Structure 1
């Protein structure tokens, strides 16, 4: 800042110096010679911003004094002046019309003139130095010496109190004035006012000792300038020199006034400043200590980490959820698929007319006969989709029976909005991240940050170790799947409501009432491979079932389950316990339909062949081949499973006869049975829940009898322990199928696939294999009988130790003896049969 010169020098230059400058400590000056109250803003590169000789201080001569006025300028004027395309060395001229003291009525020189006339005091302003960053001004005045400066300051304070001068930018606070008692420092540093002052106690002369003022003394010196909120002395054990204290004012204008009036004030011995006196050096002090935010965050993890988790969750919901819902809608409506674009289809159709492409329809060939046979089921599903019943539609059938093709390609062929969720990749995914990715891929949920789940889990564990509590950063697989299904439900609801038009008669209905009244407008959710490998864990299926129940009960969508598992009702009844499901059970094709399927499949390729020359008609394989008469007997062996029939047709296409092809399929099935159920493990390599002897017993019995009584198998010794769980496991592995009897109870057991019956016979015909596995069964039965004998002997030994042998033990002894005899007879019989089997194994290859 600039230093105020003595009057005899400044008055000579006053006519040439009527300028004020600003921003970041730039000095704004006026003089007595400038009688007009006009202030201009122009660059001044040679100024006395740091005082005379750059000392930074203001001095007053005889019969002179200094007053400090506040509220002359806005305190943040330096920010206003930092407008674009300007420089703080050359402020914009338009500010003359807004904040010039002559314009706003806050000109300290004019105020002194009016006060001297009104109060009859001899005082005249000689120089004004404006403090832009502090919003005030120093005014040096001269007087005749008849009135003390303290009285002059008192009169000026009374005048401002009476007039209550208020600038337009601060209409609630008037101007104040005080006498400058000390030696103010007009620095031009980048330091801005605060409500806290640091008061340092400095010796008046080098080598002297300063006195640290008490809180009472500081209060007496600084309370006249404004309300003090606190006085904080330096800690008594602090080694920092010079000694200091903090003064906290209630408002920063009060601190500005105190700092400019008391800086450099010499506290005399009478006032408690010691023999040599003590100088007060005042500086602005920031209340906010460095890094207090960072320190607070680091020191309060129990508050910060959960709060951060909540903020992240809020941002995720607010930003990513609408994006994910959009992608799910696009996935269901196929709005981003180029194949469904009208222009693309027009171009493709036009190109197809020019160039004849060869179409291969091998996969769909022959299905017309199957769909004709299943026409009643297709129409039944379409009828259910037009009704308002809020329950599940379940299509159950063995693997390879064409459930998906029946529902998606036939019943829902003309349904525009449908989503197909395949549970197989979701259930077979390894790890939470892979499961989340698989579920998101099925419904088009993106972006998905599955990798963040592992990172957030580690952060949560570290935070829990530091704070002793869970922070909520990591999310379980359960919650992640719930997010995916909830977003999908939101997208499905929006899709259903998007088909609503203002011209509809019932447009006035609410959303829920409209959805209930229009079941035909609801999207369809097809859940394929439901309960696939359900024995590995049901969290995925439980979540899907609960979500599907919400869709149906809220009339958002129709839900169709496709499953191979006959025990689906146990899982779905948990989600909808008070509903009766709509069920369709698919079985294998009849021999007539199976034969027609194979023949149609054989003739499908001929349609794409070029026309023969000479105008002759095409000859289809069903007309040219002479071995198709074998199909009747072959289909009896193969059965009506669609996958097996398609395999048969493909082998016949390669030139094999139907009989040879069927025998090859049976041999292949027999090898699969040995690998999967007798000698090997499950597909995933986990331990089997059945023994080879248990599987072989069923194979041998089903080879002789195509149907077995369910309870008859349970009565056999091989299935004595955990028999029902073994049968359920074998049913899940598709070796057998359990047919329901009266009242839904298990009634009978059949081969898992029709071709398995022929494969069972093929395995039983293998004399060496049968001998080996029968021997294993007999060895197992011998162990069971020997165990029974051991138990009987132990109990008889215990009874023999009783004194006097009471008569009541006689029936029990006879029972045990009879049981031992029967078990012994069985052991001898089994060993006799085992000898014959061992002989076969020793002679045959």
Structure 2
């Protein structure tokens, strides 16, 4: 077979331009060089070779030194490229390790055998050269072969003959059976480095001058194509942008395969493009290096280029995953929270141990708790009718709300939880106070979830999803739906709680019941005793702040669903007398069942305090401590009759009184301390000008009420709202009732009277009005405000009179109006003079007294 050589001559096998070397001559050449070699020969009596580890070149120089009549071949597809992971092993030189390991293998039919054996198969018998060194290149999957030849032999002819031989007798390794071993003559000066640089399909070709004083030419794409196409299929040749200031100039040569780029880099690095081929006057030196190629991901590109489709689809997938994965888990935890399945203290063995410990008289803490229960039993006996009524409602099938209303400290929660529901197995208590006092949407969601046992809850993701939604709005022009409002999050929590409560209510139902044909809703309606009870405590707490109205509206709607679907009984505990306005939105066609708790009667209050004192005396006797004398105890009990009338029957005040008496104070002194403390609280909360912006009343309005109630235990509602200070009277009075300064009594559905918010406040009001300096200061503020109001009235009448005076003449029809304005202005002026006279007296008092 005849092939054209690169020099334009014809070569064949045997080539007329290559001398015919006999086996004896080749063997002689090998023996002459044997003292400098350290590896076995290619074959007995044939070319000699060395496999000394030269992964960094001759003498660690990074290059292969060649002399006259010497050349270098680069053989491709000798090693698999997948062995590059060996470079990650610490303290391992893969090239040296591979060379040492493969030197022990001498099987010519294996591709991963001794490189000398591979080269032996790749070199034809009649090729007149002698192999000097074999340098494996593990990273690039090939090997350098340094050879020498006789004078007069052209390296290009050797390359042509070798290519023809490998084409006629291809070598296909087992790790790459679709690609054969190839060989090319190295035309440049290869850089044999042992750095960790992984080959890529793209090669960066830099154009450098051959000497510092010379200049380099920028090689054209046509020239680059003619130089690099023979090493493999090219996909692109990208020259440096013309406006780029980066030097030296460069171009990117992109191959379709990594092995093609590795072959080109090892054969053309250091090649000098002569002037006749476009290399400039002095030639241009080519420096080649691997360039990382950004992988294009069509899936990611499509997703980023179609956000209007991808983002809503992603939201839908996340929502589906949340419902499928997390909702059953959350429902399970809510069910365990209601049934106390995960509470160790509710397990039978734990309750038995606790019962044994509570029977021990040496456990003082438990005994005191029992004494306190005995003192509270007096209160519950007085309210037994309310307890029985509540118990009766819970076994009826009526789907309506139960509302327990009363002032703070009246014992609403204790009445419901500790008395009416003490034997009820499944109860859920939701404290609205904890939800409302949480700051921020994330904390509010977390607090609501904690009340029902909803977990896992990712409240912190609410702010992150809002940021993602904001970015999506900027990208696609509309919200993506990632962020959810507080209303939506609360709806999810209540929805999961509904599912859990329904499962609890249906748990007692068995397949063998006498009514298996009934639907779940019908069965729940027929068995109200199995429904769990939901207690919503502190309902309408801080109802005038921020998003409180929305939270309570959602609670009311959720409670309506529970009752109308017969899933659970709902009991609201509230101090707000206007609860019906909020609950009527949820159940507008139902009448609420209401229990109103008031203060204890004087007899019950005295028994409650006395029981506390008796329990304390018994504890002291059992502990060996000295108790008060019987005479002192009787004196304290006699004094209680008078102080109870002052203190009232509020449970919290009665407990406070009992604790102060236990410390050794007399009942009279203890009540005086309570009155003084209440007066200080009133002064701070209602009268001082601190954070007035959050109040719906002024200190002058609150002081007028305090002063009037100190003189009269009950005020007429309609009379008060006619006062000049109460232009917006009803709103102010409702706000003060919500703040518990006053309480408004109703008759026939309309407000008619105003009383102090707590019984002890009556005495506290009197205590505040006895302070002459405080009274003078606050009265002066009232007169100042009244003077301002009357001055505005006078100015209004004067303005109207001036306009009437501008009319030509004085029509008789306007004389009554003019007289009316004059009378009103005179009346306001008389009030101003009266208020100023009283203000002068108050100022004199403030100047004389501390």
Normalising to structure 2: TM-score of the pair? 0.68
Q: Counterparts of 1:445-456 in structure 2 under 5 Å?
A: none
Decide whether aligned partners of structure 1 residues 226 and 642 sit closer, same or farther in structure 2, where only a CA change above 3 A counts. Answer: same
| 1:31 counterpart = 2:39 | no
Contact in 2 for aligned 1:333/1:416 (Cα 8 Å): yes
Decide whether aligned partners of structure 1 residues 33 and 432 sit closer, same or farther in structure 2, where only a CA change above 3 A counts. Answer: same
Question: What displacement does 1:377 show?
Answer: 3.7
Decide whether aligned partners of structure 1 residues 786 and 213 sit closer, same or farther in structure 2, where only a CA change above 3 A counts. Answer: closer
Deviation per CA, 1:585-622: give whole Å up to 9, x if none: 32223445434434433433355465899xxxx99989
Aligned to 1:367: 376
Whole-angstrom distance in 2 between the partners of 1:773 and 1:206: 97
Question: What displacement does 1:228 show?
Answer: 2.3
Decide whether aligned partners of structure 1 residues 124 and 770 sit closer, same or farther in structure 2, where only a CA change above 3 A counts. Answer: closer
Question: Please, what is the CA RMSD of the aligned residues?
Answer: 6.6
| 1:748 counterpart = 2:753 | yes
Q: Counterparts of 1:288-327 in structure 2 under 5 Å?
A: none
Aligned to 2:722: 715
* Selected match of 2:201 from 195, 205, 210: 195
Deviation per CA, 1:487-516: give whole Å up to 9, x if none: 79868966986998799549999x998998
Question: What displacement does 1:771 show?
Answer: 9.0
- Partner of 2:237: helix, strand, or coil? strand
Question: What displacement does 1:219 show?
Answer: 0.9
- Unaligned 5+ runs, structure 1: 1-5, 20-28, 290-299
Decide whether aligned partners of structure 1 residues 765 and 217 sit closer, same or farther in structure 2, where only a CA change above 3 A counts. Answer: closer
Whole-angstrom distance in 1 between the partners of 2:279 and 2:845: 123
Q: Counterparts of 1:399-798 in structure 2 under 5 Å?
A: 399-414=408-423, 504-505=510-511, 526-535=535-544, 537-539=545-547, 542-543=550-551, 546=554, 549-550=557-558, 553=561, 560-570=571-581, 583-606=594-617, 608=619, 625=634, 635-650=644-659, 660=668, 664=672, 668=676, 671-672=679-680, 675=683, 680=688, 689-690=696-697, 694-695=701-702, 697-699=704-706, 701-702=708-709, 706-719=713-726, 721-742=727-748, 744-757=749-762, 788=793, 791-798=796-803
* Selected match of 1:816 from 803, 817, 821: 821
Aligned to 2:7: none
* Selected match of 1:159 from 157, 164, 168: 168
Choose 731-740 or 573-582, whichever is displaced more.
Answer: 573-582
Question: What displacement does 1:155 show?
Answer: 2.5
Contact in 1 for aligned 2:679/2:765 (Cα 8 Å): no
| 1:799 counterpart = 2:808 | no
Whole-angstrom distance in 2 between the partners of 1:287 and 1:209: 30
Question: What displacement does 1:401 show?
Answer: 0.8
* Selected match of 2:78 from 50, 72, 76: 72
Whole-angstrom distance in 2 between the partners of 1:49 and 1:669: 91
- Partner of 1:102: helix, strand, or coil? coil
Contact in 1 for aligned 2:54/2:135 (Cα 8 Å): no
Whole-angstrom distance in 1 between the partners of 2:34 and 2:426: 87
* Selected match of 1:398 from 398, 404, 407: 407
| 1:179 counterpart = 2:187 | no
Choose 245-254 or 46-55, whichever is displaced more.
Answer: 46-55
- Partner of 1:223: helix, strand, or coil? helix
* Selected match of 1:251 from 246, 257, 275: 257
Deviation per CA, 1:685-727: give whole Å up to 9, x if none: 87865456544544465466644442232123342x2222321
Whole-angstrom distance in 2 between the partners of 1:550 and 1:544: 10
Aligned to 1:22: none
Question: What displacement does 1:247 show?
Answer: 1.7
Whole-angstrom distance in 1 between the partners of 2:204 and 2:399: 76
Deviation per CA, 1:635-668: give whole Å up to 9, x if none: 555443223333454566677777x479747854
Question: What displacement does 1:397 show?
Answer: 1.2
Whole-angstrom distance in 2 between the partners of 1:494 and 1:99: 74
Whole-angstrom distance in 1 between the partners of 2:106 and 2:745: 96
Whole-angstrom distance in 1 between the partners of 2:520 and 2:91: 59
Aligned to 1:214: 220
Question: What displacement does 1:807 show?
Answer: 2.5
- Partner of 2:110: helix, strand, or coil? helix
Decide whether aligned partners of structure 1 residues 515 and 189 sit closer, same or farther in structure 2, where only a CA change above 3 A counts. Answer: farther
Decide whether aligned partners of structure 1 residues 418 and 538 sit closer, same or farther in structure 2, where only a CA change above 3 A counts. Answer: farther
Aligned to 1:230: 236
Q: Counterparts of 1:10-49 in structure 2 under 5 Å?
A: 10=30, 31-33=42-44, 47-49=53-55
Deviation per CA, 1:71-98: give whole Å up to 9, x if none: 2321131425866997745469998999
Decide whether aligned partners of structure 1 residues 547 and 154 sit closer, same or farther in structure 2, where only a CA change above 3 A counts. Answer: farther
Normalising to structure 1: TM-score of the pair? 0.68
Deviation per CA, 1:49-85: give whole Å up to 9, x if none: 45566663375986x9865442232113142586699
Deviation per CA, 1:351-370: give whole Å up to 9, x if none: 66666233224654432122
Aligned to 2:266: 260
Question: What displacement does 1:185 show?
Answer: 2.5
Decide whether aligned partners of structure 1 residues 595 and 182 sit closer, same or farther in structure 2, where only a CA change above 3 A counts. Answer: same
Whole-angstrom distance in 2 between the partners of 1:137 and 1:417: 80
Decide whether aligned partners of structure 1 residues 754 and 826 sit closer, same or farther in structure 2, where only a CA change above 3 A counts. Answer: same
